[in-house]
Amino acid sequence: MTKAPEHWDASWENNLIAARLADDAGLEFLLPVDAGTATAVKPTPKHVVRDADVGERLLAATRDISVFGTLHVAFINPVFAAKQS
């Protein structure tokens, strides 16, 4: 996360383009990262695509790529998260 004006816009549309390019290039996986939970920069919803929201949609929009999820273990117990999943 940065306050620099030339930062990448992590909108859904840009994430979808990047995922399809990665899929076409033969990459094996994507790792969406939840960038808003523990950062000093205050993100706005239009600039941050949450890990929990994006994984399933990227899987549906790509052909051969795997998508991994991340978890902030300081905030969510891994056993609880596994049961929720």
Residue 39 pLDDT greater than 80, yes or no = no
Question: Can you give the residue ranges of every domain in the chain?
Answer: 12-84
**What pLDDT score was predicted for residue 21?**
95
**What pLDDT score was predicted for residue 24?**
96
Could you tell me the pLDDT band of residue 26, with boundaries at 50, 70 and 90?
A: very high
Residue 50 pLDDT greater than 70, yes or no = no
**Cα-Cα-Cα-Cα dihedral sign, residues 11, 2, 33, 45:** negative
With beta carbons less than 8 A apart as the criterion, state whether 28 and 68 touch.
Answer: no
